Amino acid sequence: MKELTKAVAYCRTASIEQKDYSQNYQHQQLTVYAQSLNLEITKWFDEVGSGRGSRSVVLQKALKYCTEHGVSNLIVSRPDRISRSLVDYRYWEQAFRNNSVHLHFTETLNHQDSPAERFMQDMTLMLGAFERQARSDAIKRGIQNKKLKVTALAK
């Protein structure tokens, strides 16, 4: 029987409300993916929060664990789970690469580092950033409209 290669898994959900169903789905997806490539998930890193920043404490812990335990694979469902910002995603991609940790994504075209795959990753990240900004703008408009209504009622 072939020896399994070590990997860690990273799951991120945007909110506590999504944690149960989204995290369970990601765990199942990552487990099946790992099995298909003879990867043994030695540790899970789960995070609840926005995918906006490059300073994720959980990703920092995952990177540290990989370097300290000789783990060369990090499995994630999609690039936007690492970050919805293209700049922040590239930060993490480089940090893991500099430490000889290969990023695996379960939801990609062909699981290869090709120009088409990089293009699709970039598009996914840009769409995520657009969606986040559109949601933020809608919330700001809602707050502004509420303020206008309160002001009108006060007169």
The full set of domains in the chain, from first to last, is: 5-154 (3.40.50.1390)
Q: What is the pLDDT of residues 101-153, one digit of tens each?
A: 999 998 865 455 667 666 766 777 677 667 767 777 788 788 787 777 777 77
Q: Is the pTM of this model over 0.75?
A: no
Q: What is the pLDDT of residues 52-91, one digit of tens each?
A: 666 789 999 999 999 999 999 999 998 888 887 778 888 9
Residues with Cβ within 8 Å of residue 59, at least 6 apart in sequence: 10, 45, 47, 82, 92
Mapping DSSP to helix (H, G, I), strand (E, B) and coil, where does residue 41 land?
strand
Number of Cβ within a 10 Å radius of residue 71: 23
Q: Check residue 111 and give its pLDDT.
A: 52
Q: What is the pLDDT of residues 68-78, one digit of tens each?
A: 999 999 999 98
